[in-house]
Structure 1
Amino acid sequence: MHRRRRTALVLTAAIAAAAPVLTACGNDAHPGAAAVVGGQRITVSQLESRVDEIRRAQRAAVSDDTQYQQVLASTSSLTRDTLHNMVLDRVLHRAARDEGVSVTRKEIQQMRAGLEQQAGGAKGLQAAWLQKYGIAPSRLDDNLRLQLEAQKLASRLGTDPSQPAFWKALSKASKELHVDLNPRYGSWDVRRSSRVDAKTPWVREAATAGGSPVTA
C-alpha cells in the first residue's frame, strides 16, 4: 500500500480514537448551544441534524432489523462522539491555519480516488467510513479534508498525529478558540487528554425506534 494512503487510514483511526486536548468552561451562558468554538455556536439542532444524517445512512446500509439494533447498541454514544468530531474539526482547522497549512480541492479528490481504489469503489469507501468512523457519505469529503489537514500539520511540525507535539498544537488552538462545551455532553480533561462524561445520572442518551438519539 502506498505510504501516503496508509498514513491516511492510520490518521483517521488515530483521530477517532484520541481525545483532543481541549478546554471547556462548562456553563449555561449559551442556551441552545451544544458547544461554542471561537465564538461560533454549534447548536443542539445542528448536532441532532448531523446525528440523524448518520442514523439514516446506517439504516440504509443495514436492512435487517436485528443487525440495525446491534448497530444502535454499538454506537450508543453517537451524539457525544459526533459533537467531539464537530469541535475537533474546527480546532484542527485553526491549528492548521496557525501553521500556514491549507488543503486544496484537488488534494481531496486525489486522496478520495486512492482510497476508493483500495475499497473497491465509491460505495465501498462510503460503507467503510460509515461503519468504522461514523462518517455519513455526504460528509466524506469534509472528513478527508480533516485528514489531510492533520497529515500536513503533523508534517509541518515534524511529528505525527499520535505524538504529544501534534496534540500540543491542537491544545494551543483550542485555547485560542475558547472552546465551551455544554456539560450535558461531558467535558474535556486536559490532564488526561480524554473526554469525561458528565456526572448527571438523570441525563442519558437513548435511541428512538426510528434510530434518532434523544436525551432525557
Structure 2
Amino acid sequence: MHRRRRRTALLLSAAIASAPALTACGSDAHPGAAAVVGGQRITVSQLETRVNEVREAQRSAVADEAQYAQAIAKTGTLTRDTLHSMVLDRVLHRAAQDAGISVSRKEVQEMQDGLREQVGGAKALETTWLQQYGVAPGRLEENLRLQLEAQKLAAKLGTDTSQPAFWNALSDASRKLNIDLNPRYGDWDVRKSSRVDVKTPWVREITQQGQLPA
C-alpha cells in the first residue's frame, strides 16, 4: 500500500498504510457472506451496495465519461478496499468499546464543521473524502465518527495511530471478533488488522465492469 501522511483529521486509510506487513492464516467465510465479523455477516449484497454508492458518487462528481473512466481506473481495487474498510470499522469500534470510549453526535458535528472550513465547504469535503478515501457522501458522518474513535483510542493509549500500541489494540479486537473472509476477497491478517491477498487459483473472479466477484 501507498503511505499517506495524516492530515489535521486522523484518516484511517493513512494509518492503514503504515501498519506492519505481516501475514496470518484464515478459513473460508460462511456461504453467502463476504466476511463474518464477531459472528455477524457482511453479505456480498451489502458489500456491493457500498461499492455502488462510491461508483454512483464518482459518476456524479465528473463531467464526462472520460473522467469517470479515469476515476474507475484509479480505484480498480475498490471492492477489496471497501471490504477492508467495512471490517476494519468493526474492529476499531470493538477496540474503542473495550477501552470504554464513546463519541457524541456533537463531537462528530464539530469535526465536520472544522473540516468544511479547512477545505472550503460541505461539497468540497465530500469530494475530498470520495476522491482520496473512497467514502461516499452518505457515509461521511459515519466515517468521521470512526476517525474520532481512533483518535480517542490512541490518546488513551498514550500513542498515535502509527505506533505499535495502537495496532496491538486493534489486533486484540481482531482476535476477539474471529474475522473470517471469503477467500475470493483475500484473508484477514490479525496482527496487522488488515485484509491481505492470498493465492487461490481455484477461485475464478468475474471482472466484467460493475460486477463483483461471484
* Matches of 2:89 and 2:190, distance apart in 1: 18
Q: In structure 2, list runs of 5 or more residues that go unmatched.
A: 1-5
**What is the aligned partner in structure 2 of residue 51 from structure 1?**
51
* Matches of 2:51 and 2:156, distance apart in 1: 33
Does the 8 Å CA contact 1:26/1:180 hold for their aligned counterparts? yes
Question: Is residue 39 from structure 1 mapped to residue 39 from structure 2 by the alignment?
Answer: yes
For residue 206 of structure 1, give the secondary structure of its aligned residue in structure 2.
coil
Q: What does the per-residue CA deviation read over 1:28-69, in whole Å, with 9 as the maximum and x for residues that have no partner? A: 5x1100011110000000000110011000010012211111
* Matches of 2:173 and 2:38, distance apart in 1: 10
Normalized per residue, the structure richer in helix is: 1
The one-letter code matched in structure 2 to 1:152 is K
In structure 2, do the counterparts of structure 1 residues 41 and 18 end up closer, same or farther at CA, with 3 Å as the change threshold? Answer: farther
After TM superposition, the score normalised by the length of structure 1 is 0.87
Q: In structure 1, list runs of 5 or more residues that go unmatched.
A: none
**What is the aligned partner in structure 1 of residue 83 from structure 2?**
83
- Identity of paired residues, percent? 65
Note the aligned Cα RMSD (angstroms): 2.3
CA positional deviation for 1:182: 0.8
For residue 212 of structure 2, give the secondary structure of its aligned residue in structure 1.
strand
Does the 8 Å CA contact 1:79/1:213 hold for their aligned counterparts? no
The one-letter code matched in structure 2 to 1:27 is D
Question: Is residue 206 from structure 1 mapped to residue 207 from structure 2 by the alignment?
Answer: yes
Q: What is the count of residue pairs matched by the alignment?
A: 207
Q: What does the per-residue CA deviation read over 1:93-136, in whole Å, with 9 as the maximum and x for residues that have no partner? A: 00001011110000000000000001110000000000000000
Moved more, 193-202 or 73-82: 193-202
CA positional deviation for 1:6: 4.4
Does the 8 Å CA contact 2:167/2:192 hold for their aligned counterparts? no
CA positional deviation for 1:24: 6.1
After TM superposition, the score normalised by the length of structure 2 is 0.88
In structure 2, do the counterparts of structure 1 residues 35 and 23 end up closer, same or farther at CA, with 3 Å as the change threshold? Answer: farther
Does the 8 Å CA contact 1:35/1:179 hold for their aligned counterparts? yes
Does the 8 Å CA contact 1:51/1:213 hold for their aligned counterparts? no
Higher relative contact order (CA 8 A, sep 6+): 1
In structure 2, do the counterparts of structure 1 residues 192 and 153 end up closer, same or farther at CA, with 3 Å as the change threshold? Answer: closer
Does the 8 Å CA contact 1:101/1:149 hold for their aligned counterparts? yes
* Matches of 1:94 and 1:52, distance apart in 2: 26
Question: Is residue 25 from structure 1 mapped to residue 23 from structure 2 by the alignment?
Answer: no
* Matches of 2:196 and 2:23, distance apart in 1: 12
**What is the aligned partner in structure 1 of residue 99 from structure 2?**
99
In structure 2, do the counterparts of structure 1 residues 213 and 61 end up closer, same or farther at CA, with 3 Å as the change threshold? Answer: farther
**What is the aligned partner in structure 2 of residue 142 from structure 1?**
142
CA positional deviation for 1:192: 6.4
